[in-house]
A and B are shown apart, each in its own frame.
Chain A
Amino acid sequence: MNCSEVMELMQQRLDGDINDSEQRLLTEHINHCPACSEMAERLERLHMELVQLPKVGPKFSLVDAIMPALDLIERDEQLAAVESNVEPNPHAEKAVSLMTDEVPNKARIAKEHAQPKAAQRWFERIRWRATSAVIAAGLVLGLFIVNFKPPAAEEAGDFGELGKEQLLHSEAADESHGPQVTRSDSSSPVKEKPSNNDPQNNQPESPSYKALEGTGNTDRKAIEQGGQEHKAGSADRGSNSPKSKANADSKDTSSRPKKERETVSADRSSVKGEQPKTELDKGKLPVKQEGKKEDAKKDLAQEDTIRNPEKEPTKDTIAVQNDDASTEKKQVNSFGPSITSTAEATAPNGSLMATWDNGQLMLYKLDGQERTKLQTIALADKPTELLWSADSSKLTIVTPAGDGESVKLQYELKNESLEPVADAGNQAEREVIEGSVQQQQ
């Protein structure tokens, strides 16, 4: 027996795979062959060391670690069971192949996994459809908003700005709901002005300030002032002459008319002596805008705080400044967003509201949040301006008459109904509150 054969026996002996005769031959050879004896010893030692190798285990539960993956597989399989007739898609098969290779039933498993995926894709498609439908609807609405220009709006600036303003407007609209309830500051314009930085002014309305921030003070003012009455004769007034302001503002604001229109709130300010101007501005800006803008401008000039919504509160100061102190009352009511192509104006005393909607001029009686229809007057053209007189007894309606001209109709309030007044004179116009038209898109 040679050494290599003995080597084989030594190996077999380590594994217990040796019979008695082999054992005898081996022992005999080792006894007289030092090389094989040493080799046997070495192998024995190696064997013992291999046997004693530490039986390592994972330091954390592997099953726990893979449980999420198992749950996922389980779910997929259940889905597959439900929708067993969906054809597998190649993608899924690929994904699954990692786990299923070398397996006879690979195809089956792949299919099971594929089915849920297909189902998922179906859902995705549905979702996509729904999403695209929503987007399409949004686009249509957006186009409508952008393209629809009430007569007064035709000079509006570029569309980009409009878009921006609309955005802001919509925010304002949301936040200006129920403004009448929130009107809390009772301070007179005089008082309010100095209090710009006064925290007291940061009140329930502050959100709307924020929303409107950057759109110009006018909107803010409108919201803020809604439902709030400012006593006439406030010191504010004197500072600027309405006309000069109005002129200056009309330039600044020519690009903003939309904004104004969009404001949800119904603004009313009584500005005396501005009426003439409103006519000039017709087609550009609703009258009220001028008044507001004046204020806005003033505010801007006076306060940097405008940028800081919290400091802004003073907008009340905005109270229209009229040359004629006696008529000054400014009231701004804000309502929730109203329907496109309507115009509305609330009377200074807050008890009445005139709205134009689709060929009809309607008079409403306001009682808190409720409104009761009092009268309906047929009026084909959409008015560019609805102007209440300061004492809420008269309503002036300015409608476009083509060629850039406009027609002014005046109604007088008698027994809660409007009766036409033959001649809308200058005097009446002077009493009209500016900025009362609310045109919304």
Chain B
Amino acid sequence: MVQPELIRAAQSGDRDALITLLREIEQYVYRTAYYILNNEQDALDASQEALIRIYTKIQSYEEKAQFKTWVQRIVTNICIDKFRRMKPTVSIEEHNLTFLGNESVEREVLSSHAAHDIREAIKQLPEHHRAVVVLRYLQDFSYNEIAESLNLPLNTVKSYLFRARQQLQTMLQDYEKGGVRG
């Protein structure tokens, strides 16, 4: 949690404060980018772009919003733009093939999905559903914070989140079945 004093100092032109602030938030920015883009290099690019944008736009932040949601709005916007530009959609069928084999055995044993499977499943979600899930689970945001970050109505956030979980659950179940069959 970034201290309000630090934010105010940064906004008043204290460059060192601004740099310190960026250092405090960089891991959160990166984490969101990483889970939305599901690719390390893209995540690095997007999060650096986001940090630069925060640096240049710090004056435009207003305290009526939470700083962390303001930051997440910037990074998710960049990621969604980036994602739209680069993302060729991959069908779930194609993915089923990649989950045959040893991993399914492990899953049965551990009675748990590999983190890899979950990331793959998240990747299949529509972009806003994905952003909601990431903010909910990787940033530990509440419905309201997610709504603030994504500039969406609260009910929309809830419905996105519920639908996303249901889809994820279905996808993972499919993976399991695929594994059993294999």
Listed in ascending order, the chain A residues whose CB lies under 8 Å from chain B are 7-8, 11, 14-15, 17, 39, 42-43, 45-47, 49-58, 61-63, 65-66, 69-70, 73-74, 99-100, 102-105, 109
Contact = CB atoms under 8 A, between A and B. Distances in A.
B118 A49 contact: yes
A62 B47 CA distance: 8
B8 interface: no
A61 B26 contact: yes
Given A53-B137, A63-B23, A109 B56 contact: yes
B56 A100 contact: yes
Given A62-B44, A62-B48, A63-B51, A54 B115 contact: yes
Contact of B60 (A15, A51, A56, A103): A103
A70 B19 CA distance: 9
30 contacts: A7-B162, A8-B162, A11-B162, A11-B166, A42-B169, A43-B169, A45-B112, A46-B168, A46-B169, A49-B112, A49-B113, A50-B133, A50-B136, A52-B115, A53-B115, A53-B137, A55-B138, A56-B30, A57-B27, A58-B47, A62-B30, A62-B48, A66-B52, A70-B19, A73-B55, A73-B56, A74-B15, A99-B56, A100-B56, A105-B59
Interface residues of B, number: 44
A40 to B, nearest CB: 11
B12 to A, nearest CB: 14
B156 interface: no
Contact of A62 (B51, B57, B138): B51
Contact residues of B: prevailing secondary structure:
helix
A43 B27 contact: no
A103 B113 CA distance: 41
A283 to B, nearest CB: 74
Contacts of A42: 169, 173
A53 B118 contact: yes
A52 to B, nearest CB: 8
B165 A46 contact: yes
A62 to B, nearest CB: 5
B52 A70 contact: yes
A63 B22 contact: yes
B52 to A, nearest CB: 6
Interface of B: 15, 19, 22-23, 26-27, 29-31, 34-35, 43-44, 47-49, 51-53, 55-57, 59-60, 77, 112-113, 115, 118-119, 133, 136-138, 143, 158, 161-162, 165-166, 168-169, 172-173
Given A73-B55, A100-B56, A15 B143 contact: yes
Contacts of B47: 58, 62
A426 to B, nearest CB: 90
Contacts of B165: 11, 14, 43, 46-47
A105 B34 CA distance: 29
B71 to A, nearest CB: 13
B31 A56 contact: yes
A70 B112 contact: no
A48 to B, nearest CB: 9
Given A53-B137, A56-B30, A58-B26, A66 B51 contact: yes
A50 B141 CA distance: 13
